[in-house]
Amino acid sequence: KVGDTVWVYFTADEPIDPTTVNVKILGQAAALYRNKGNQTLSKYIVMDNNGAEGLIGFSISNYMDPAGNEGSPVSTVTNGSAITFDRTAPKITISGVNVMGGNVVPNYFNSTNTGIAITVPIDNDASIINSSLEIVAKVNGKDAGSLGKYTIASSDLGRDKTVAAQNNNDLGNFGEGTSITFYGLLADVAGNTTTSAESSIIIRVDKSAPKIGNKRIYSSSVDPTKAGLGDIVYVEFTASEKIDTVAATIGGQPIDGHEHLRDFTSRVWRRMTSADTEGLLSFSLAGGDAARNMSAATATVFDGSKVEFSSTGLKILLTRIASNSSYGDTLAKPGDEIAVEITTDLPLIVKDATISGQPAAVDDLGENKYLFSIAVADQDQVGLAQFAIDYTDQNAIPYDKLTAVTDNSYVRFYGTRPIFPEVAIAASGADPAIAGVNDEIQLTFRIEGARFDSSSLTIMNKPPQTITVLGQDTYQASYVLTENDPEGRIEFNITALDPAGASSSITATTNNSYVVFDQAPPADFTVGQVSTSGGTVVENEWNS
């Protein structure tokens, strides 16, 4: 490497004049180092940045014996020795820092971790085979000691090399709250050394578990000491630092969630279900900080708070819906009444009730029976009538809105939408509005809110030859005209039955389309009188 000394040793078979001998190493004139009896000599140079890298060449010339006989130039060794000049420093970077053991959290060394591993990309450079790689830790910006020295094998070239710390593997020894970075030292076989930049990854030492205090338990119910089905029970607490993760149960069941409230105050919660045991609810809580150090589990409150759970809240015994339609209690149209009947085991308090989006009147029938009713508004409505009843029990404990029946009852709207929204007719000839004998008439139509009565469909007062279902309540009927059909505009009749069984028919298109049947040629005619006009008119003459 640069700064090293390179010698050439040589021995002549008889004394030579040392003042005339010329020795060059790597093209540079070499200085005399030793002369023994004018037969064994050595000359040297000190390597600088000017020489070419690679095998170092030399030459010995202009050497003569006392009689003036000059020997032949020499540029090869007799013992197989060789020296390679390498003035390029090796490359080294740190690409990865990974904590090992226990609960690994990126960028933290916590109380469960046991070691550290560093990843270094190894350059494809033969000069570093069997050389030394050292990893050094810096604590808060200051050197803090070596993690170990490692040998580069030929199999490491061109690959990432990950090494585990041999020394100081417990980063906790550097002190709680310290920030640790790393850098590497690499030397090639020529002795060129490189120090890498500090790792961009910083490991923070945090091995202290948080402390949990100020715990209290309460319910989302109007009475925070009571909880029923669907209520949320909270355990609120304050910690010595912000809590990042929790391990907790309420009533012996897993919690549903954890949320941060403010500063170092958080809470866990569970929505009560039939799986929970009635009575006073216990809890267990442990909190972990950002490094996942967990506190000891705790199960006591500081303020005497408690929550009692009861799953025997108000029960719905019956929910059914019906109408007063003359066509049956499952059908309704504008002006009809729809009623929802509810029976419970305990009194309920109604907060809001709607049927088909309309506010419903409420009638307390006694014995925990209630009737909700509306008069169907004069507006476009289809499908099944929906309802929603929001209620609580007498303890103000809320329940999910009631939206479904307990039996198979239902009410369907009818008669409030056009039954034939699309009707069109066309002929198969060149002009869809004109048809002749053997032309096909195609009647296309769509029906909504009713059932198609195919037996009543006619074209030219006759059943069509085919009826095709096109999908989405759309149909196409075809009829081929014969010479026996009357001329004129094609007539048709489409009939449908609504859910109440009432029939409706249509005989005209909705897009003004029509077809005229014409099978006779125009009547004979003759040319009448021909006369001239303008200028001087002369009968039977055309003049200037």
Q: Bridge-partner residues for 388, per DSSP?
A: 354
CATH architecture of the domain with residue range 5-85: Sandwich (2.60)
Sketch the domain layout of the chain as residue ranges: 5-85, 96-205, 212-309, 316-413, 425-517
Residue type, 328: G
Q: What is the pLDDT of residue 525?
A: 59
What is the value of pTM for the model shown? 0.47
Asked if the 96-205 domain carries CATH number 3.30.1490, the reply is no
Q: How far apart are the first and last CA of the chain?
A: 125
The tokens for 266 are 């958080």
Q: State residue 154 phi and psi, 5-degree precision.
A: -60, -30
Per 3-state DSSP, what percentage of the chain is helix, strand, and coil (rounded to 5)? Answer: 0, 45, 55
Q: What is the pLDDT of residue 535?
A: 76
Give the count of alpha carbons within 13 A of 347, CB side only. Answer: 7
Distances (CA, A) of 518 to 189, 215, 460: 108, 94, 14
What local confidence, expressed as pLDDT, does residue 88 receive? 80
Q: Which fold has domain 316-413?
A: Immunoglobulin-like (2.60.40)
> Is residue 161 within 8 Å of 137, Cβ to Cβ?
no
- Residue 418 is predicted with a pLDDT of 60
By CB atoms closer than 10 A (0-12, 13-18, 19+), residue 241 is middle
Helices (H), 60-191: none
Angle at 314 between CA 310 and CA 317, to 5 degrees: 135
Q: Do 212-309 and 316-413 share a fold?
A: yes
Spatial CA neighbour of 86 closest among 158, 233, 191:
191
Write the CA distances from 313 to 198, 205, 310, 337, 389, integer angstroms.
64, 51, 7, 32, 17
Judged on CB neighbours under 10 Å (0-12, 13-18, 19+), 506 is middle
d(CA 488, CA 502): 32
Domain 425-517, CATH: 2.60.40
Specify the CATH number of the domain 212-309: 2.60.40
> CB under 8 Å to 79, separation ≥6 — which residues?
none
Q: Residue 526: its pLDDT value, please?
A: 65
Q: How far does CA 286 lie from the centroid of its chain?
A: 30
Tokens of 206: 């945090």
Q: What one-letter code names the amino acid at 427? A: A
Per-residue pLDDT tens listing for the chain (544 residues): 788 899 999 999 999 988 889 999 988 899 998 999 999 999 998 888 887 878 889 999 999 988 888 999 999 999 988 888 887 888 899 999 999 999 999 999 999 999 999 999 999 988 899 998 999 999 999 999 899 999 999 999 999 999 999 988 899 889 999 999 999 999 888 888 899 999 999 999 999 999 999 999 999 987 788 888 888 999 999 999 999 999 999 999 999 999 999 999 999 999 999 889 988 999 999 999 999 999 999 999 999 999 999 877 788 999 999 999 988 899 998 899 999 999 997 788 999 999 999 999 999 999 999 999 999 998 767 778 999 999 988 777 788 899 999 999 999 887 655 679 999 999 998 899 999 999 999 999 999 878 899 999 999 999 999 999 999 899 999 999 999 999 999 999 999 987 767 788 999 999 999 999 988 766 665 666 767 777 777 777 777 7
Give exposure, 6-41, as e/b (b: 16+ Cβ within 10 Å): bebebebeeebeeeebebbbbebebeeeeeeebeeb
User: Distance (Å, rounded) from C-alpha 472 to C-alpha 395?
Assistant: 50
At which residue do the structure tokens 């029990």 appear? 393
**What whole-number distance in Å separates Cα of residue 205 and Cα of residue 284?**
28
